[in-house]
Structure 1
Amino acid sequence: MSSSVNFDAEEPLTSSVKPLTNATITVRVIKSFPYRNVKNIIFNDYNLMEKTVQDLKTDSLSHIKATGAFRAFRNIEFDTLKIYTHAHGSKTVNLIINFDHDEDWMLQDLSKKLVNYDIGNETEISLFNMKDYHEYKANPEEKWL
């Protein structure tokens, strides 16, 4: 069975339509790796040209402290940001965290602008505790089943 799909091959990808000064990014806040306990923060109209890694971290932590849905996440020390996936890029088979690209995708320089890490519209970024990440990476056993 075939179906007709109406689309314009010349139409730009949704990730490139919005300017970097008005981007939408998702921060995946990871409470527990083994139990796959994740909650998303979506930042709309986020200026990737001006915002630094520290700004994103501060905005994310402020959202966690101010939003009731994140009450269970407040006892975790979130200290690390890492790119999970770029828009329209390949995704990892691990649903909780991207183990690839640790050297390149860890946002370690807090003063660096987000755009300098190649973060664009619709990029997903993970926020987590580095110690928990290393423990899970050494033994990626899932306990939620």
Structure 2
Amino acid sequence: MSSTDPLTSNVRPATDSLITVRIIKSFPYRNVKNHIIKDIDLKSTTPKQLLDRIINVINTTGGLRPYRTVEYDTIKIYTKAHGSKSMNLVINFENDDEWVLVSPTITGNDKSLWELGIQNETELSLFKWDDYVEYKANPVEKW
């Protein structure tokens, strides 16, 4: 790859992007399943619409059946394309104020994913907010 080649995250347009959603069932037990969403329009999709879409995928996909027992209510950025990843393999504890896109206190209807800084190849985490707060206060792994 030469220095003139574009980054893979910049090759696809924002109206036809690819993102990875990390569905987190349990923080202490590190139960995480990745779901790749292809062909998403980041400029017209809001975080709330994405939350509803992922919950529908969980409820209709046989391979995600074990993940149906959690009431997911939060989407947070795990890592941006070509950015550094968190040392924690389950969740990124940093930037809660800026990187939480939808939660029990954030509606996620005001701006599009694109306006919130989501680009092609961004990784997002889907989880239950109360479980996150509890795990963040005492991040002990149980396996």
Letter in 2 for 1:65: N
Over aligned residues, Cα RMSD in angstroms?
0.7
Identify the residue that residue 110 of structure 1 maps to in structure 2.
Answer: 108
Which SS does the other structure have where 1:125 is aligned? Answer: strand
Within 2, Cα distance between the matches of 1:113 and 1:120?
A: 11
Deviation sequence 1:99-126 (CA, Å, 0-9, x none)? 0000000013411210111000000000
Runs of 4+ residues deviating >3 angstroms: none
- Please report how far the alpha carbon of residue 28 of structure 1 lies from its aligned counterpart in structure 2 after TM superposition: 0.4
Gaps of 5+ in 1: 1-6
Identify the residue that residue 5 of structure 2 maps to in structure 1.
Answer: 11
Of residues 19, 23, 32, the one that matches 1:25 is: 19
User: Normalized against structure 1, the TM-score is what?
Assistant: 0.93
Identify the residue that residue 125 of structure 2 maps to in structure 1.
Answer: 126
Deviation sequence 1:71-101 (CA, Å, 0-9, x none)? 1111101000000000000111000000000
Identify the residue that residue 142 of structure 1 maps to in structure 2.
Answer: 141
- Please report how far the alpha carbon of residue 40 of structure 1 lies from its aligned counterpart in structure 2 after TM superposition: 1.1
Letter in 2 for 1:110: G
How do residues 34-113 of structure 1 correspond to structure 2 at under 5 angstroms? 34-107=28-101, 108-111=106-109, 112-113=111-112
Max Rg structure: 1
Identity %: 53
Within 1, Cα distance between the matches of 2:74 and 2:22?
A: 12
When the two structures are aligned, how many residues end up with a matched partner?
A: 138
Gaps of 5+ in 2: none
User: Normalized against structure 2, the TM-score is what?
Assistant: 0.94
